[in-house]
Amino acid sequence: MYVSNNSYHDKNISIFAPDFSFIGHSITNLAKFQAAYFKSKYSINLKENLTNKTHHKREINFYHLGNSPHNIEVLDHFVNSKSAQNVVIIHDTNLTDLIKFAVNKNGLKGYKAIFKSQDPSLIRRVLKDSQTLDPVTKNSFFIDAMLKANLKNTNLIIHNSNNLVTSEKVIGSTLSQIQLPIGFHFMRLLDLNVTNPIPLIVIGGSGRDNYFFENIKLVIQELSSERELRVIILGNMYKNSIDTLNEMPNVSIFKNVNNENWQVILSRADISMRIAVGRNGESSGFLRDSVFLSKRVLGDEDSPALRNFSNYTFLDKDLDIKNISQKISELLENNHQQDTEQVSIKKTETAQSSLNRYFNSLNEFVENL
């Protein structure tokens, strides 16, 4: 688990996030950026910190939660926290996978505080038969439980409210929605000065959705029948997902790359695409890096932060494979426009503004708690 601690006058500020190596726009990297922001804003003389670090200081804990086993330790720390103030930042509103991982490891009793007022029959369905649940139920389960539990001095932040319906007022005094920011502290616009001899499509995705990769395979086959192209897929995937695509000669799969190569690949992309996330209550870091670096970007997340970039095209969730292939073909046909210096400056300014808004919003919790 990644942990950062900062002390300022009468407050101790701690940030907790899953600690895993995935690069780019990850939860871990976002937490590290938040820590750097707070450190620059709140750090004071180390000697003064040490002498004033008493039990009288107010404790403010930020918890970053996503939907993978890496987040169990963060969830457990939150559940057992005796902090005066907790701020839980929920990156994926659908946390049913995390709940199953956590309960299988620690038992349901350990999460009694969260689920004490949630419907027991719904809890059983999430734990035993979650694949049959509709997206609204999945996306609403954890947040609805947290609101019903009425946890003292706990604030919730979400990034994506798609398919979210709760028994309580959705956005209120304890639940806020903040747009996930664009750009990151290690990222910069690269002047590669090269043109791809063959169009390059970069696709981001995780392996939990097998249908996603079956659909991607159909899209690639459709496009390959019309033109020569190369496809790079970035992300961790299950073996059967990899086997589905490895047989295609024009497809390369990179489960993990370093930050520099991540930037180079996205910067070389004629089109970057990420689908099957926005409708599931996720805010895609891949899309946010892509609008900053790639020529054209396709995604199914309807976000004001993404729509601020002219190179982003929103794909309606009802689009079928044929329509997606057609949209990609249209973009490739009209892919002659290069980023001008003015466009690059605009991208940088928009990304920086997005980051400032995000961390200023988190800082408001510190100042108001």
DSSP 175-243: EEE-PPPS--TT----------SS-EEEEE--TT-HHHHHHHHHHHHHHHTTS--EEEEES---HHHHH
Rg (alpha carbons) of the chain, rounded to whole number: 22
CA torsion sign for 201, 207, 212, 218 is: positive
Alpha-helical segments (H) within 23-67: 27-42, 46-52
In the prediction, which pLDDT does 111 show?
A: 94
Query: What is the length of the chain?
Result: 369
Q: Reduced to 3 states, what is the DSSP secondary structure of residue 345?
A: helix
In the prediction, which pLDDT does 326 show?
A: 87
Tokens of 238: 């299950």
Distance CA 339, CA 351 (A): 16
In the prediction, which pLDDT does 45 show?
A: 45
Phi, psi of 209 (to 5 degrees): -110, 100
Could you please state the CATH topology (level 3) that the domain comprising 200-350 is classified under.
Rossmann fold (3.40.50)
Which amino acid belongs to residue 185?
H
In this structure, the number of other CB atoms found within 10 A of the CB of residue 369 comes to 16
309-339 per-residue burial string, b: 16 or more CB within 10 A, e: under 16: bebbbebeeeeeeeebbebbeebbeeeeeeb
In this structure, the number of other CB atoms found within 10 A of the CB of residue 129 comes to 9
Domain spans, the chain: 2-177, 200-350
In the prediction, which pLDDT does 51 show?
A: 47
Tokens of 52: 């004033």
In the prediction, which pLDDT does 169 show?
A: 61
Distance CA 3, CA 44 (A): 19
Tokens of 2: 């990644």
Q: Give the pairing type, strands 230-234 and 85-90.
A: unpaired
In the prediction, which pLDDT does 360 show?
A: 92
Kindly give the confidence (pLDDT) of every residue in the chain, 369 residues in length, as a single tens digit, with 9 standing for 90 and above. Answer: 999 988 777 788 999 999 876 666 788 888 988 988 888 877 654 444 444 555 567 899 999 999 888 899 999 999 998 888 999 999 989 999 999 999 999 999 999 999 999 999 999 999 987 778 888 999 999 999 999 988 888 999 999 888 888 766 655 668 999 999 887 655 565 665 566 688 999 998 765 555 667 778 888 888 888 889 999 988 766 555 566 677 788 888 887 787 788 888 998 999 999 887 766 778 888 899 999 889 999 998 888 889 889 899 998 766 677 888 888 998 888 766 556 677 778 888 888 888 889 999 999 988 887
In the prediction, which pLDDT does 209 show?
A: 57
**DSSP class of residue 349?**
H
In the prediction, which pLDDT does 6 show?
A: 81
How far is residue 30 CA from its own chain's centroid? Answer: 9
In this structure, the number of other CB atoms found within 10 A of the CB of residue 159 comes to 22
